[in-house]
Amino acid sequence: MQSSNPEHEPFSVSFLGTGTSHGIPVISCGCVVCASTDPRDRRWRSSLLIRSGSTAIAIDCGPDFREQMLREKVDRLDAVVLTHEHRDHLAGIDDLRVFNYHSQGDFPLYCTHAVEEQVRQGWRYAFKPSPYPGIPQLGFVPIENERFTIGELHILPIPVLHYRLPVLGFRIGPFAYITDVSHIPDSSFQLLEGVDTIVLGALRKTPHLAHFSLTQAMEAARKTRARQAYFIHMSHDMGLHRKVEAELPPGMNLSYDGLTLHFGR
Ligand SMILES: [Zn+2]
Ligand SMILES: [Zn+2]
Ligand SMILES: [Zn+2]
C-alpha cells in the first residue's frame, strides 16, 4: 500500500514560519497578539526546512524566505517543494538565485503542472528565451500523486483542498505536513495511516471558507490518530500562543517559528 513507510534516514524538520499570509505582527495592527513580546507570537509566513544527511529541502518559499534562510544558517539547499501557487508560499523564489551560484545549474522546484504554470506567469522574466543576467535559474520537476525522492528523503504527496484549490501536503515516513487546507478527502486520510506527527493548517478559532479552524484541525488530527499534532498558518485572530496552548489537549500544540523536531530511523 502506498501509505506504508519506506525505509528512511533520520531527518529533522524546522518550522521556518508558522503564520498565515499576513504574518504576525500584521502591518498597522495594534492587537494584543501583534503587540506581544513573546517571540512565539511573531510568525513569518509558513514554510518548513527538512534536513537529512547531506540533503536539505524547503517546503514552500514565501516572502520571508531570505530571513528564514539567514536565521537557520542554510548555506545549501537542494530543492524547494511547493504546496500550491499562493504568493505567501512562493514570493521568495527570486532569492533562490544564491543557491544557483553554488549549484551551477537550474534550481529544482518540485510542483504540479498547475503550480508550474503560475510560477511561469508570475516570474516571466526568468523564463525568457534569452534571459537577463542575474535572474533565478529555475527548473521544474513535475510531481502529482506518486511518491518521489530527493536525496535521502522519500516524499509522498497528500492531496487536499483549500476551498476549491488543490493543494499538496507531504508525508515523510512518520511525519506529515499539510498547510493551507479546508478539506481532507478520505483517500488522503488513508495515506496518513500510521503517521506519528502531523502538522496541519489552523487559521483561527472561527470558521473560514478556505482554511481549517482550530476545531476542524483538531478533529482532522484526531482522525489520523497521530501521537502528536502541531498547528501552523495561524492568523493573529488565533490569540496569544501562551493562552491557546493552555487550552489544547495533550498531544496537540501550536507550532512556532524556529521549532525543530527530530525523527529517527
Ligand atoms: Zn497560505
Ligand atoms: Zn493583530
Ligand atoms: Zn493558500
Q: Which ligand is nearest to the CA of 235?
A: 2
Task: Read off the pLDDT of residues 44-80 as tens digits, 9 standing for 90 and up.
Answer: 999 999 999 999 999 999 999 999 999 999 999 999 9
Answer yes or no: is 265 within a domain.
no
Residue type, 87: R
Question: How far, in Å, from the CA of 31 to the mean position of ligand 2?
Answer: 4
Answer yes or no: is 4 within a domain.
no
Answer yes or no: is 3 within a domain.
no
Question: How far, in Å, from the CA of 41 to the mean position of ligand 2?
Answer: 10
* Domain ranges, residue 17: 11-260
Answer yes or no: is 133 within a domain.
yes
CATH number at residue 244: 3.60.15.10
Question: How far, in Å, from the CA of 177 to the mean position of ligand 3?
Answer: 14
Answer yes or no: is 36 within a domain.
yes
The per-residue pLDDT for 56 is 97
Question: How far, in Å, from the CA of 23 to the mean position of ligand 2?
Answer: 10
Q: Are 189 and 224 in contact (CB under 8 A)?
A: yes
Question: How far, in Å, from the CA of 36 to the mean position of ligand 2?
Answer: 9
Beta-ladder partners of 178: 200
Burial bucket for residue 124 (CB in 10 Å: 0-12, 13-18, 19+) = exposed
The per-residue pLDDT for 105 is 87
DSSP, collapsed to helix, strand or coil, labels residue 244 as helix
Question: How far, in Å, from the CA of 209 to the mean position of ligand 1?
Answer: 13
Question: How far, in Å, from the CA of 31 to the mean position of ligand 3?
Answer: 24
Q: How far apart are CA 56 and CA 21, in angstroms?
A: 24
**Buried b vs exposed e over 197-211: b needs ≥16 C-beta within 10 Å?**
bbbbbbbbeeebebb
Please tell me the pTM assigned to this model.
Answer: 0.96
Task: Read off the pLDDT of residues 113-134 as tens digits, 9 standing for 90 and up.
Answer: 999 999 999 999 999 888 788 8
CA–CA distance from 226 to each of 62, 158, 192, 216, 234 (Å)?
A: 27, 15, 9, 15, 20
CA–CA distance from 73 to each of 13, 53, 65, 160 (Å)?
A: 14, 16, 12, 32
Q: Which ligand is nearest to the CA of 33?
A: 2
Answer yes or no: is 5 within a domain.
no
Within 13 A of 19's CA, how many CA atoms are on the CB side? 28
The per-residue pLDDT for 5 is 55
Question: How far, in Å, from the CA of 104 to the mean position of ligand 1?
Answer: 31
Question: How far, in Å, from the CA of 243 to the mean position of ligand 2?
Answer: 15
Question: How far, in Å, from the CA of 7 to the mean position of ligand 3?
Answer: 31
Answer yes or no: is 240 within a domain.
yes
From first to last of its 265 residues, the chain has per-residue pLDDT tens of 444 556 779 999 999 999 999 999 999 999 999 999 999 999 999 999 999 999 999 999 999 999 999 999 999 999 999 999 999 999 999 999 999 887 778 999 999 999 999 999 999 999 988 878 888 999 999 999 999 999 999 999 999 999 999 999 999 999 999 999 999 999 999 999 999 999 999 999 999 999 999 999 999 999 999 999 999 999 999 999 999 999 999 999 999 999 999 999 6
The per-residue pLDDT for 219 is 98
Question: How far, in Å, from the CA of 89 to the mean position of ligand 3?
Answer: 7
Provide the pairing of β-strand 79-81 with 55-59. parallel
Question: How far, in Å, from the CA of 39 to the mean position of ligand 3?
Answer: 24
The per-residue pLDDT for 104 is 75
Q: Which ligand is nearest to the CA of 45?
A: 1
Answer yes or no: is 6 within a domain.
no
Q: How far apart are CA 257 and CA 95, in angstroms?
A: 20
The per-residue pLDDT for 178 is 99
Question: How far, in Å, from the CA of 147 to the mean position of ligand 3?
Answer: 23
The closest of 193, 204, 177, 159 to 259, measured between CA atoms, is 177
Split into its structural domains, the chain has a count of 1
The per-residue pLDDT for 3 is 44
The per-residue pLDDT for 6 is 62
The per-residue pLDDT for 27 is 98
Question: How far, in Å, from the CA of 16 to the mean position of ligand 3?
Answer: 17
Q: Which ligand is nearest to the CA of 203?
A: 1
Beta-ladder partners of 49: 14, 58
Q: How far apart are CA 124 and CA 261, in angstroms?
A: 37
Q: Which ligand is nearest to the CA of 85?
A: 3
The per-residue pLDDT for 162 is 98
